[in-house]
Amino acid sequence: MLLLNWRDTGHPEGGGSERYVERVAQGLAARGYRVTIQCAAYSGAEFGEWVSGVRFRRRGHRLSVYPLALLSVLRHRPDVIVDVQNGMPFFAKLVARCPVLVLVHHVHREQWTSAVGPWAGRLGWWIESWLAPRVHRKCRYVAVSEVTRRELVELGIAADRTSVVPNGLDAVPRTRASRAAEPTLVAVSRLVPHKRIEHAIDVLVRLRERWPSLRLEVVGTGWWLDRLRDYARERGVADRVVLHGWVDEQRKHEILARSWVHLCPSVKEGWGIAIIEAAAHGVPSVAYRAAGGVAESIVDGETGLLAEDFEEFSAHVERLLAERGERVALGRAGQRRARRLDWDSTVAGFESALRQAGLD
């Protein structure tokens, strides 16, 4: 089995979608599949290595990873291919002589322009919305949420060709942290423009007078980090914003465990693993209703709150800071839901999708 993904979790821009791919790959390897992930190379990474029963083959960079992946398909002739479409697919179907399953975390309509500019963005959206569905018209798809499946239907991909296989959740490590005495907001995210961490900083600005000790802790790294540092300074809250950068899993969970509310102001998420990780610590999340899979990772009014716009987003945060009873109730419901999510179920669902795609 060959999984084509433009990054892995060790990549400086790796995130939740890469974790999904790797957990599925590891689970399939444990079930007896011979699994290779081909992705881009990056500084400090091995050209090839085995990790948890999965072979990693790293070739090329942001753009060259795509043609090199197609050459790998021709050279190695896998039995099945998973083409991970993070906006741009690999178009493995054009050269493959085996079943191809297309994995989509979410549709990138809103993100193309912010990522690559207006002209390239229009081209990217045309490829994703028009060309890719036609090239893959006979392929099966996997989406990580019902929201993404509906988005694919809008692009002409029949719902009965798409299996929904949600994210699992890694075992949550024990932490020594207790809930902070002072109100603390947290955002766990890759730091790129479409994650809109600026909105989290703006919430802090809006609420600082009522909550003089309010702080925001941002966990994650990315090429937008320096811009966010400048933005916090421009908004006059640099002393209240902690930009942790990359931290290990234990440290991340310690920070989550002491927080009051988790903010996810992203333009779009396929699911939102950080939302479930926060929930596992009894921390409710606030996100935008239109941001794709967050409308499923958050059960609105039960495990967190969804907003229509920034005004409602900031109002929801203020409400959860002020209403301890509601905050605790949402957190406990989120914990119960997080306990029901596991990667074994995800792997089983993915294996079923593979068989539907034609793998015997």
Other CB atoms within 10 Å distance of the CB of residue 318: 17
The answer on pLDDT for 115 being more than 80 is no
| Closest to 358 (Cα-Cα) out of 78, 79, 38, 148 | 79
243 dihedral zone (left: phi>0; alpha: psi -120 to 50; beta): beta
Which of the four pLDDT bands, split at 50, 70 and 90, describes residue 68? very high
Please state the rounded mean pLDDT for residues 97-125: 90
Q: What mean pLDDT do residues 18-25 have?
A: 96
pLDDT at residue number 193: 92
Q: Is 190 helix (H, G, I), strand (E, B) or coil?
A: coil
Confidence class for position 112, pLDDT limits 50, 70, 90: confident
pLDDT at 224: 94
* Mean pLDDT, all residues of the chain: 95
- CA–CA dist 87, 15 (Å, integer): 15
Look at 117 and 277; give whichever has higher pLDDT. Answer: 277
**Is residue 358 very low, low, confident or very high in pLDDT (cuts 50, 70, 90)?**
confident
pLDDT over 60 at 187, yes or no: yes
* Site of tokens 């309509």: 109
Q: What is the mean pLDDT of residues 213-228?
A: 96
Percentage of the chain modeled with pLDDT above 90: 89
- What is the predicted pLDDT for the residue at 85? 96
Q: What is the pTM of this model?
A: 0.87
User: Residue 139 and residue 102: Cα distance in Å, rounded?
Assistant: 7
Can you give the pLDDT at residue 360? 47
241-245: strand order across its sheet: 241-245, 215-219, 184-188, 261-264, 285-288, 304-307
Residue 303 has pLDDT above 60, yes or no: yes
Q: What angle do CA 336, 296, 84 make, to 5 degrees?
A: 115
Where do the domains of the chain lie, and which CATH numbers do they carry? 2-168+342-356 (3.40.50.2000), 184-339 (3.40.50.2000)
Average pLDDT value for residue range 355-360: 76
DSSP E strand stretches across the chain: 2-4, 35-39, 48-51, 54-58, 81-84, 100-104, 140-143, 162-164, 184-188, 215-219, 241-245, 261-264, 285-288, 304-307
Average pLDDT over residues 244-270: 95
Q: Tell whether the model's pLDDT for residue 204 goes beyond 60.
A: yes
Q: How far apart are CA 297 and CA 278, in angstroms?
A: 11
Strands, E, within 168-274: which ranges?
184-188, 215-219, 241-245, 261-264
Those residues whose C-beta lies under 8 Å from the C-beta of residue 293, and which sit 6 or more positions away, are 105, 106, 144, 145, 147, 148, 269, 270, 271, 272
- DSSP label of 264: E
* pLDDT level of residue 12 (50, 70, 90 thresholds): confident
Other C-beta atoms closer than 10 Å to the C-beta of 65 total 20
Give residue 338's pLDDT band: very low, low, confident or very high (50, 70, 90): very high
pLDDT of 159 > 70? The answer is yes
**Structure confidence at residue 15 (pLDDT):** 83
From CA 275, how far away is CA 299, in angstroms rounded? 11
Q: What is the pLDDT of residue 359?
A: 61
